[in-house]
């Protein structure tokens, strides 16, 4: 998408096999900084420390990380080490495993001398596919937005609430939840987005607000606790969120707080949609609450806040008593029964085993 008129992606190769460039998302929205990843260790650090984040971008970065590793050593042992290093970086987003499995399956049968180039090419293909898939997701969701717009007084925007950042920064381009927002806006369908700040890391305040603003999409930042109130007062027409892992039965794991938004939407009759590429479906899992590993992050993300001082320094400050213990589960699971529909690259389906199997019969049959 565009930053002040210039098109960008969240990741792009700069030297075949040797370097891939990313945007350091820990510096946004205060500083736009790109970083070149040149080794397996760089790629693993970028994912683990959340310079890059969001399920699809984690997968894409891991794919390039495999290419960087094999550029130096393409032996079987190096391939397995790269797989093990990258898979251990973050536990919840299943796109990481999806991308690494795809690479390992294609690369292992090749002669070592062919692997680095093949890995680099496959990483590029994963990125291109991600862009196409997210564009398709946006197109399907746009039909829902148009229907809601048709029921509203002419010119009144469709109010969409979103949580965390399922934007182009979380993917390679377009985003999942944001793709329909960009497509509606670009097509002249008036939309307005309520952006949840998304404590503790504030991906909504720092990333979603930044990218929507840079592209010119009208939006308003709200604290995480405001969603229920907005819905009670008829101010939200629909919710669209992303997901880090969706089960074969339609349970949706996403950033902590998503479940509460789904409950409020259910109570107020607000449609609650989840936008996802099929790479985010975990066909091996049917019970989201019990089977999806929930990342537990440092309590420091809860007790401290990062921001920019008046004189332009990026600082981290303590907001609690020094000894306050904090828990920090990073994701939660929204049961399928609270989800109005899953918006995928193949269309929209019910959040259920039948719904997903209807759109992806070959994947459901293979599982």
- Provide the binding-site residues for ligand MRU, judged by CB under 6 A: 53-56, 93, 164, 166, 170-171, 176, 203, 242-244, 254-255, 330
Measured in whole angstroms, the distance separating CA 359 from the mean position of its chain's CA atoms is 21
Centre a 10 Å sphere on the Cβ of residue 309 and count the other Cβ atoms it contains.
10
- How far, in Å, CA of 267 to CA of 270, rounded? 8
Strand ranges in 114-162 using DSSP code E only, listed in sequence order: 158-162
Task: Beginning with the edge strand found earlier in the chain, give each strand of the sheet holding 34-37 in spatial order.
Answer: 11-15, 19-23, 34-37
**H or E element, residue 308:** strand 304-308
- How far, in Å, CA of 51 to CA of 44, rounded? 10
C-beta of 263: minimal distance to ligand MRU in Å? 17
C-alpha distances in angstroms, 151 versus 122, 148, 237, 242, 280?
44, 5, 11, 25, 32
If DSSP codes are grouped into helix, strand and coil, which group holds residue 278? helix
Comparison of 79 and 209: residue with beta carbon closer to ligand MRU = 209
Omega within 30 of 0 (cis) for the link into 167 = no
Burial grade of 118 (CB within 10 A; 0-12, 13-18, 19 or more): middle
Measured in whole angstroms, the distance separating CA 77 from the mean position of its chain's CA atoms is 31
Q: Give the residue nearest to ligand MRU (CB).
A: 242
The answer to whether 226 touches 199, Cβ cutoff 8 Å, is no
Q: Is 244 among the residues known to form the active site?
A: yes
C-beta of 32: minimal distance to ligand MRU in Å? 18
- How far, in Å, CA of 257 to CA of 265, rounded? 13
C-beta of 357: minimal distance to ligand MRU in Å? 22
Catalytic entry in 42, 130, 173, 244:
244
Q: What is the CA radius of gyration of the chain?
A: 20
Comparison of 115 and 245: residue with beta carbon closer to ligand MRU = 245
Cβ-Cβ contacts under 8 Å for 239 (sequence gap 6 or more): 160, 161, 162, 163, 261, 262, 265, 270, 271, 272, 273
| Structure-derived torsion over alpha carbons of residues 316, 318, 319, 323, reported in degrees to the nearest 10 | 150
C-beta of 169: minimal distance to ligand MRU in Å? 9
Residues belonging to the active site: 244
């Amino acid at each position: 998408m565009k930053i002040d008129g210039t098109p960008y992606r969240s990741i792009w190769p700069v030297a075949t096999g040797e370097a891939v460039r990313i945007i350091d998302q820990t510096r946004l929205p205060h500083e736009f900084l790109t970083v070149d990843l040149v080794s397996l260790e760089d790629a693993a650090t970028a994912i683990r420390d959340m310079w890059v984040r969001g399920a699809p971008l984690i997968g894409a970065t891991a794919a390039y990380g495999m290419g960087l590793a094999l550029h130096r050593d393409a032996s079987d042992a190096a391939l397995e080490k790269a797989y093990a290093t990258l898979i251990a970086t973050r536990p919840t987003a299943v796109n990481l495993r999806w991308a690494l499995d795809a690479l390992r399956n294609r690369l292992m049968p090749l002669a070592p001398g062919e692997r680095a180039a093949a890995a680099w090419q496959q990483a590029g293909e994963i990125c291109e596919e991600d862009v196409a898939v997210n564009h398709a997701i946006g197109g399907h969701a746009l039909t829902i937005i148009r229907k809601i717009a048709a029921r509203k007084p002419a010119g009144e925007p469709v109010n969409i609430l979103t949580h965390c950042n399922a934007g182009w920064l979380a993917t390679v381009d377009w985003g999942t939840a944001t793709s329909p927002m960009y497509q509606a806006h670009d097509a002249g369908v008036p939309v307005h987005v309520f952006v949840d700040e998304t404590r503790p890391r504030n991906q909504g305040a720092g990333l979603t607000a930044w990218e929507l603003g840079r592209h010119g999409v009208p939006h308003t930042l709200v604290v995480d606790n405001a969603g229920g109130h907005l819905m009670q007062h008829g101010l939200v027409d629909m919710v669209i969120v992303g997901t880090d892992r969706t089960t074969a039965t339609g349970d949706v794991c996403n950033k902590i707080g998503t479940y509460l938004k789904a409950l409020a939407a259910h109570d107020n009759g607000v449609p609650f949609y989840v936008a996802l590429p099929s790479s985010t479906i975990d066909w091996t899992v049917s019970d989201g609450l019990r089977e999806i590993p929930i990342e537990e992050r440092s309590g420091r993300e809860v007790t401290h806040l990062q921001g920019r001082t008046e004189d332009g320094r990026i600082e981290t400050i303590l907001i609690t008593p020094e000894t306050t213990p904090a828990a920090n589960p990073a994701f939660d699971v929204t049961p399928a029964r609270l989800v109005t529909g899953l918006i995928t690259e193949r269309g929209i389906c019910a959040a259920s085993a039948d719904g997903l199997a209807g759109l992806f019969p070959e994947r459901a049959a293979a599982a």
